Amino acid sequence: MNDEFLGDRRKALEESFFINESEKLRNALREKHQQKEQKEALAAASGITDDAVLQQLVELNISSDTLAALSLVPLVEVAWADGTMDDNEQRAILSAAEEEGLSSESAALLDSWLTARPGGEILAAWKDYIAALADIMDATIKEKFKRELLGRARKVASSAGGFLGVAKVSRQEEGKLDELARAFS
């Protein structure tokens, strides 16, 4: 009877172990499937096929809905280049966001970037995004996209007005514009 009791306990313990392991595997598969779906949606929305870039965007919780906000990263970066964001810069960014037709999720993300300077990982993700996009774009289209995007960023930089109306774009903002332009190379 003692052997039978121990056998039953051993079997129950094994079943419990395998149930827990099966649940862990199911959760891991479910998470992997969700990430795959997110990457597919991002690829469809952006045209990016580089898995590493897509994975980084997923890890940063950038969804296809918030991808439009990612296009506003250069504007936000230029506005924060001197360490502060003034009201004119904020209005210029919000105007650009309105032109993009941001979803409410994207608008919430943008609002957080206007309130507090985003971390460097956002700019790094944007640079990777642009590099991947530049690889698949026709040279003429890439140049047009670059001019348009940097033009909007320069508009934000000049919206602050400089000191006494002189030097509308600060040294820090010029440096950030140059850094953004290099991302297209």
Q: Please report, for the chain, how many H helices and E strands are present, in that order.
A: 9, 0
Output the pLDDT for position 66.
66
Output the pLDDT for position 17.
74
Output the pLDDT for position 94.
87
Q: Which of 46-55, 106-115, 169-178 has the highest mean pLDDT?
A: 169-178
Query: How far is it, in rounded angstroms, from Cα 149 to Cα 143?
Result: 10
Model confidence at 181, pLDDT cuts 50, 70, 90, reads: very high
Phi-psi region of 153 (alpha: psi -120 to 50; beta: other; left: phi over 0): alpha
**For residue 176, how far is the Cα from the chain centroid?**
18
| pTM score | 0.64
What is the domain partition of the chain in residue ranges? 44-182
Instruction: With a cut of 80, say whether residue 48 has pLDDT above it.
Output: no
**For residue 117, how far is the Cα from the chain centroid?**
14
**For residue 90, how far is the Cα from the chain centroid?**
19
Instruction: With a cut of 80, say whether residue 158 has pLDDT above it.
Output: yes
Output the pLDDT for position 45.
66
Between 67 and 177, where is the model more confident? 177
Residues 149-172 as b/e (b if ≥16 CB within 10 A, e otherwise) read bbebbbbbbbbbeeeeeeeebbee
Amino acid at residue number 175? G
Mean pLDDT of 122-149: 84
Query: How far is it, in rounded angstroms, from Cα 1 to Cα 140?
Result: 83
Output the pLDDT for position 80.
94
